Amino acid sequence: MIAIIDYGASNLLSVTNAVASLGFKPKVTSSAEDVLKARAVLLPGVGAAGDAVRKLRDLNLVNAITEVINRDRPFFGICLGYQVLFASTEENNAKCLGVLSGTVLRLPDTVKVPHIGWNQVRQRVKHPIFDGIPDSSDFYFVHSYYPVPTDHSIVAGETEYGVTFTSMIVKGNLIATQFHPEKSGDTGLKLLRNFFRVAGLES
């Protein structure tokens, strides 16, 4: 079972449609039990990090998410679902989940914020997640903040927008992106398919 976490603040339809287009039947769920049972978990999201974390706590999903990641089970965080994995964010000085060490900063005022549109992702590691995806491929972004991981070894992709920021991380079976693969056309779908292959799942 592939679980897509529903905490009332995420772009569920586009993510669900993208996963279904790959031949899978994902389950949209707010159940911690479903998350713990899933073969792979996706945490999408748009909005404010502090609000998202509060909703995840209210639904008793924080421990389930932490346990799945600590067990090195396949997990994919998208946009806000990437940012909330870190310790804290400058956005309203909110605490996040703390699964990863680092903080989330606001994009500089020297560029238009939010960052909306297509931008390149430079690959910083060789990994099966990038199979068939050329370096510096374009992906679709919508965000005002970006994470700064303390552990530089998890940086898988970087993007330029007023600053060089970590647009993708890989840590074991944990993949997370600041961009939206579900809105990034064929390249984004290929990234998601690679994630499921890394997870040992075939449609």
Q: Known catalytic residue: 182?
A: yes
Tens digit of pLDDT for each residue in 101-123? 999 999 999 999 999 999 999 99
Q: Known catalytic residue: 79?
A: yes
CA distance 8 to 89: 20
Indicate whether 24 pLDDT > 80.
yes
pLDDT at 47: 86
Q: pTM of the entire structure?
A: 0.97
Tokens at 172, concatenated: 């074991």
Indicate whether 202 pLDDT > 90.
no
Please report which confidence band the pLDDT of residue 128 belongs to, taking 50, 70 and 90 as the band edges.
very high
**Percentage of residues of the chain with pLDDT beyond 90:** 95
Task: Kindly state the average pLDDT of the residues 83-102.
Answer: 96
H-run or E-run covering 33? helix 32-37
State the average pLDDT for the chain.
Answer: 96
Indicate whether 67 pLDDT > 80.
yes
Sign of the Cα torsion 162, 99, 174, 172 reads positive
Task: Kindly state the average pLDDT of the residues 81-97.
Answer: 96
Indicate whether 183 pLDDT > 90.
yes
Indicate whether 10 pLDDT > 70.
no
For the chain, the structural domain boundaries read 2-198
Indicate whether 133 pLDDT > 70.
yes
Tens digit of pLDDT for each residue in 37-52? 999 999 998 889 999 9
CA distance 15 to 41: 12
Q: Which of 91, 96, 115, 182 is catalytic?
A: 182
Q: Known catalytic residue: 180?
A: yes
Sign of the Cα torsion 100, 101, 105, 111 reads negative
pLDDT at 11: 77
Q: Which of 79, 91, 96, 115 is catalytic?
A: 79
Classify domain 2-198 by CATH number: 3.40.50.880
